[in-house]
Chains A and B, each alone.
With several copies, the nearest count.
Chain A
Amino acid sequence: MNIDNIKKEFPIFNNKVQNNDLVYLDSANSSQKPQLVVDRIYDFYTKEFSNVGRSVHYLAVAATNLYENTRVLVQQYINAKDKNEIVFTKGATEAINLVANTFGQKFLSKGDEILLTELEHHSNYVPWHYLRQSKGVNIRFAEINENGDVTIESIEKNITKKTKIIAITHLSNVTGAILPIKEIIDLAHSKNIPVLIDGCQGAPHLKLDMQELDCDFYAISCHKMYGPTGLGILYAKKKWLEELPPYQGGGGMIREVKKEGITYGDLPNKFEAGTMATAQVIAFGESIKFLNKIGIKNIEKHEKNLTMYGEEVLRKNNSVKLIGNPKNKGSVLSFTLDGVHAHDIATILDEDGVAIRAGHHCCQILHDKLGLSATARASLGVYNVKEDLDKLNESLKKCIKIFNG
């Protein structure tokens, strides 16, 4: 698959949106889906549907194999040591909640500290906030620097004797900063502190290697990774999955159930209670195959070039102010426009078929810090091309015209 020609794998671009060609610059919110992924869902439901794991009939056996096959594909894709370190969840948000809840239950008590950064998405803050109330822990936020980056020094400064876990984003969904997570993990481990990486924005765009990275937890959002909605992944080291108590309780995660007590099943079943998102998991296997076919190195290069081009184009526009100038930047371009509020930008761009996001992007702490109530954000995916960024810039000029005459 040639990445320069990849748009044609995505059926949505064959349709006009309000008479315009769609210029989709909202992939950090959710990515579009390749035809193969949608077809897999269709075929599964129309020819092969059954629940997994529970029945012994032909369709159930086949579905179970398909389901487990995706687990192996994911394991290989992120180079996890063991397929049972892959837990399917309903989203990255659930994955983080799972860790915060069970880790908190078992290992945290009053006065302990959790270290986050000012870049965190609400999904990597609210679940930890709950532990302030239930356990009396404290939360620290490593500060960003003037480039919208979090440095290893900023992390180090905030580690204390009481720090029990560090939970940080891989790639900021606002400033695009790619954090030095390998260094942070090494530092944390030298002090015996486990690290959770919110990989929502990392996983679709960067090469992942869990064994090399050595993080304890890594949360993935499949719908941002060319996969179906309603699915996420928690990677966790086996020792953690063994030590942590189960999260949700229900069918499929038990060993033996008596009136007096319950024993839980083996990994990863212990963390997959109830009927899982069978069709979505099976279809996500196609997303992984799709990424493999293009090659993550090619994706990184393609998106890097586009990001640099986008920055160049926007820098030439004097009314645009880019948010953040991190050392390593992912394919996220957040900005403000003199005299035009982000929502007005989004509405005006939308008239031209240019889809961006406006608001705080679930990062209020960061926006408070930046002194902004809202920013506009153009974010990229494999299917974007330079022309998309040109169109963005054209439409921004239109905003300026409407507002500033």
Chain B
Amino acid sequence: MNLKELYQEIILDHGKNPRNLRKTDNFNKDAKGHNPLCGDKVHVYLKLDENKKVEDISFEGEGCAISMASASIMTDLVKGKDEKDVKEIVSDFLQMIKEKDEIQTNLLKEDEKTKLMCLSGVKQFPMRVKCATLSWHTLTSAIDRSQNEINTENMDL
């Protein structure tokens, strides 16, 4: 295993200074994600315009360098994209983390792909994969669910 590959400069930078760590005004989609084992939490806010394009995306949360960097890079990359394209990017990223060796989608530029590939170091750290994917799964559920469903806190009492 290789700590240097996990904690690359760009990860440490995004981890310490996450981009889009705030709450979007007038968001119209959002979802919360938890990692019950370690307590990591993330809340993703989306504002889609009438053409279903991501006008703004942001997140709030607390977590390790990997999860913060992942959310930070994710929000940077999907901004301005179509909802459909966002879904393709998410699924491509998740595949890369799970099995594939690279990012394949044409929706991202080369330097964007390089940025994403910085997260591939977690593959050697199976317990940390969830840290890298939490915000991405949360983005998916934000897109898939309607506003109402998400605000229903599923608290058992």
Partner of A260, one of B125, B154, B155: B155
Question: Which residues in window 181-201 of A have CB below 8 A to B?
Answer: none
Check if B131 sits within 8 Å of A132, measured CB to CB: no
Check if A261 sits within 8 Å of B38, measured CB to CB: no
The CA-CA distance from A264 to B34 in the complex, in Å, is 11
* Interfacial chain B residues near A367, Cβ < 8 Å: 39
Asked if B94 CB lies within 8 Å of chain A CBs, one says: no
Known contacts A133-B157, A263-B155, A373-B63; is-contact A65 B126 (Cβ 8 Å): yes
Question: Which residues in window 98-121 of B have CB below 8 A to A?
Answer: none
The CA-CA distance from A85 to B12 in the complex, in Å, is 39
Check if B131 sits within 8 Å of A343, measured CB to CB: yes
Q: How far is the CB of B10 from chain A (nearest CB, A)?
A: 14
Q: Mark A128-144, 1 if CB is under 8 A from B, else 0.
A: 01001100000000000
Check if B39 sits within 8 Å of A360, measured CB to CB: yes
Check if B37 sits within 8 Å of A347, measured CB to CB: no
Q: Mark A259-270, 1 if CB is under 8 A from B, else 0.
A: 011111100010
Check if B34 sits within 8 Å of A256, measured CB to CB: yes
Check if B126 sits within 8 Å of A54, measured CB to CB: no
Check if B128 sits within 8 Å of A347, measured CB to CB: yes
Chain A residue with the shortest CB-CB distance to B39: A360
Asked if B66 CB lies within 8 Å of chain A CBs, one says: yes
Check if B12 sits within 8 Å of A373, measured CB to CB: no
Q: How far is the CB of A234 from chain B (nearest CB, A)?
A: 21
Chain A residue with the shortest CB-CB distance to B68: A341
Known contacts A343-B66, A348-B3; is-contact A261 B36 (Cβ 8 Å): no
Check if B156 sits within 8 Å of A264, measured CB to CB: yes
* Interfacial chain A residues near B156, Cβ < 8 Å: 133, 261-264
The CA-CA distance from A367 to B156 in the complex, in Å, is 20
Partner of B64, one of A129, A132, A261, A341: A341
* Interfacial chain A residues near B127, Cβ < 8 Å: 56, 60-61, 64, 347
Check if A402 sits within 8 Å of B7, measured CB to CB: yes
Asked if A180 CB lies within 8 Å of chain B CBs, one says: no
Question: Which residues in window 244-288 of A have CB below 8 A to B?
Answer: 252, 254-256, 258, 260-265, 269
Check if B12 sits within 8 Å of A360, measured CB to CB: no
Q: Mark B5-21, 1 if CB is under 8 A from A, else 0.
A: 01100001000100000
Q: How far is the CB of B75 from chain A (nearest CB, A)?
A: 19
Residues of B in contact, count (CB < 8 Å): 28
Residue of A53, A256, A358, A402 most packed against chain B (CB within 10 A): A256
The CA-CA distance from A351 to B128 in the complex, in Å, is 14
The CA-CA distance from A262 to B154 in the complex, in Å, is 9
Q: How far is the CB of A64 from chain B (nearest CB, A)?
A: 8
Known contacts A56-B128, A263-B156, A402-B3; is-contact A359 B65 (Cβ 8 Å): no
* Interfacial chain B residues near A53, Cβ < 8 Å: 37
The CA-CA distance from A66 to B27 in the complex, in Å, is 43
The CA-CA distance from A88 to B28 in the complex, in Å, is 41
Check if A343 sits within 8 Å of B128, measured CB to CB: yes
Chain B residue with the shortest CB-CB distance to A367: B39
Chain A residue with the shortest CB-CB distance to B122: A347
The CA-CA distance from A358 to B39 in the complex, in Å, is 10
Check if B63 sits within 8 Å of A262, measured CB to CB: no
Residue of B36, B125, B154 most packed against chain A (CB within 10 A): B36
* Interfacial chain A residues near B131, Cβ < 8 Å: 343
* Interfacial chain A residues near B41, Cβ < 8 Å: 373
Check if A256 sits within 8 Å of B128, measured CB to CB: no
Check if A403 sits within 8 Å of B12, measured CB to CB: yes
Residue of B64, B66, B125 most packed against chain A (CB within 10 A): B64
Check if A359 sits within 8 Å of B39, measured CB to CB: yes
Q: How far is the CB of B21 from chain A (nearest CB, A)?
A: 14
Chain A residue with the shortest CB-CB distance to B41: A373
Chain B residue with the shortest CB-CB distance to A402: B7
Check if B36 sits within 8 Å of A255, measured CB to CB: yes
* Interfacial chain B residues near A18, Cβ < 8 Å: 1
Question: Which residues in window 62-113 of B have CB below 8 A to A?
Answer: 62-66, 68
Q: Mark A151-181, 1 if CB is under 8 A from B, else 0.
A: 0000000000000000000000000000000
The CA-CA distance from A96 to B40 in the complex, in Å, is 27
Q: Mark A35-65, 1 if CB is under 8 A from B, else 0.
A: 0000000000000000001101000110011
Q: Mark A335-361, 1 if CB is under 8 A from B, else 0.
A: 000011111100110010000001110
Q: A262-B156, A341-B64 are in contact. List 15 more A-B contacts (CB 8 A).
A: A53-B37, A56-B38, A56-B127, A133-B157, A261-B155, A263-B156, A341-B63, A343-B40, A344-B64, A347-B128, A348-B7, A359-B39, A374-B39, A402-B3, A402-B7
| A and B contact pairs by CB, cutoff 8 A, 19 listed | A56-B38, A61-B127, A64-B127, A256-B34, A256-B155, A260-B155, A260-B157, A261-B155, A340-B65, A343-B64, A343-B128, A343-B131, A358-B38, A364-B39, A374-B38, A374-B62, A402-B3, A403-B12, A403-B16
Query: Nearest 4 pairs between A and B by C-beta?
Result: A261-B157, A343-B64, A341-B64, A359-B38
